[in-house]
Amino acid sequence: MNLTLKNKRVLVTGGSRGIGAAIVKRLANEGADVAFTYSSSPDKANDVVNAVQLLGRKAIAIQADSADASAVVSAVERTVSELGGIDILVNSAGVLAMGPIDTLALTDFDKTIAVNVRAVFVATQAAVKYMGEGGRIINIGSCNAERMPFQGGSIYAMSKSALQGLVQGLARDLGPRGITINNVQPGPIDTDMNPDNSEFADMLKQQFIAMPRYGTVDEVAAMVAYLAGPEASYVTGASLTIDGGFNA
């Protein structure tokens, strides 16, 4: 086994299910000790902890609402305290509010910004205090940052587009310190929130995706693992899309 992340300390926000859980397991499989946050479903969080421990790595599940800035900072601090530091931060927590402009509430807008944008900034600001050269920050964005081909996705697309600007700006701030920061932008991925076996999925596969299938969480986790590893040391300020040609 090629343990490219041996002795690395990782925090993944939103790591109890879906893409986040796959990232936790993949990074642990490559040798990292991993803390992750979850907002609910402690049973799923415990399942992820058990999976990581079976790999012989440390795992810490931290209950934290990413809409609460103080909880995000506390999660970083606990990671540093219990793992002895932090080398890699993966901002995976996200929310999706869909609807036409006439029906979207201001609370939908505020929560989307709080979780999808502000929490990324807050976690990054807290983590870089402890990161040295070789640190990695990876955000889970969305291909919708560049293309929103159907109605109702305005504030979600806006929040993911904001990450592109944030990453480009922070790449300049963090580059001299040897820390990289990038976005991974998944397209349609088979998760419990967006299952492959639905009418919506059938529509996307028929009309929008060049490769007429959904992606898998493991495919996204593989791209994250690349950015977290030594081979991506010259990649920063980038938004890398993994969408089966959705944006082609």
Calculate ∠ Cα 7-51-123, nearest 5°: 55
One digit per residue, the tens of pLDDT, for the chain of length 248 reads 679 999 999 999 999 999 999 999 999 999 999 999 999 889 999 999 999 999 999 999 999 999 999 999 999 999 999 999 999 999 999 999 999 999 999 999 999 999 999 999 999 999 999 999 999 999 999 999 999 998 999 999 999 999 999 999 999 999 999 999 999 999 999 998 899 999 999 999 999 999 999 999 999 999 999 999 999 999 999 999 999 999 99
Q: Quickly list DSSP for the chain.
A: ---TTTT-EEEEET-SSHHHHHHHHHHHHTT-EEEEEESS-HHHHHHHHHHHHHTT--EEEEE--TT-HHHHHHHHHHHHHHHSS-SEEEE---------TTT--HHHHHHHHIIIIIHHHHHHHHHTTT--TT-EEEEE--GGGT---STT-HHHHHHHHHHHHHHHHHHHHHGGGT-EEEEEEE-SB--SSS-SSSHHHHHHHHHT-SSSS-B-HHHHHHHHHHHHSGGGTT--S-EEEESTTTT-
The two tokens of residue 121 are: 């900034």
Q: What values do phi and psi take at 130, rounded to 5?
A: -110, -5
Flag whether 2 is in a domain: no
Nearest Cα residue to 183 out of 150, 136, 147, 247: 136
| 156 among known catalytic residues | yes
Q: In terms of residue numbers, what domain contains 98?
A: 9-242
Flag whether 69 is in a domain: yes
Flag whether 184 is in a domain: yes
Positive or negative: CA dihedral 161, 165, 168, 170: negative
> Looking at residue 243, what is its pLDDT?
98
pTM over 0.85: yes
Flag whether 113 is in a domain: yes
Flag whether 133 is in a domain: yes
CATH number at residue 137: 3.40.50.720
Flag whether 247 is in a domain: no
The two tokens of residue 61 are: 């599940």
How far apart CA 116 and CA 68 sit, in angstroms, is: 12
In total, how many domains does the chain have?
Answer: 1
> Looking at residue 2, what is its pLDDT?
78
Flag whether 230 is in a domain: yes
> Looking at residue 1, what is its pLDDT?
63
In the set 156, 214, 226, 234, the catalytic residue is: 156
Query: Do residues 141 and 184 make contact, with C-beta atoms less than 8 angstroms apart?
Result: yes
Flag whether 4 is in a domain: no
